Structure 1
């Protein structure tokens, strides 16, 4: 059985765009604390993922890296 490790790549995306979590919070309407929890891989609901991906103009899938363990 293949196990997958799914991790957020938000930090990488923000760095590429020279953007802070606070700037993303302003763009997306998501609290900075929620963005920080997602960035630390503490989970996130689907609506928040949608808001973040919409603000960044990317797909929800692009917010994650998937690796085989």
Structure 2
């Protein structure tokens, strides 16, 4: 069985501009709590508009940089 894994925490931590979750919230207009939920992987519903805003803000062109399908343990 597989599950969707959001990789936002890793993307933020490895960003060359040393972004914080607060920075990303400001850049996207998404609530800081929502960004935090994404980073912790605690979101059960994924808003496509949020993914688009995050991808645009971080110049991500391949959605696999943000989302992965991993085998559930």
Q: TM-score, normalised by structure 2?
A: 0.78
After TM superposition, the runs of 4+ consecutive aligned structure 1 residues lying more than 6 A away are none
Work out the CA distance in 1 between the residues paired with 2:8 and 2:25.
12
Tell me by how many angstroms 1:63 deviates. 0.5
- Find the aligned partners of 2:69 and 2:20 in 1 and give their Cα distance: 24
Q: Once superposed, what is the RMSD of the aligned Cα atoms?
A: 1.4
- Equivalent residue for 2:6, pick from 5, 8, 13: 8
The TM-score normalised by the length of structure 1 is 0.81
What residue ranges of structure 1 are gaps of 5+ in the alignment?
none
Q: Which runs of 5+ in 2 are unaligned?
A: none
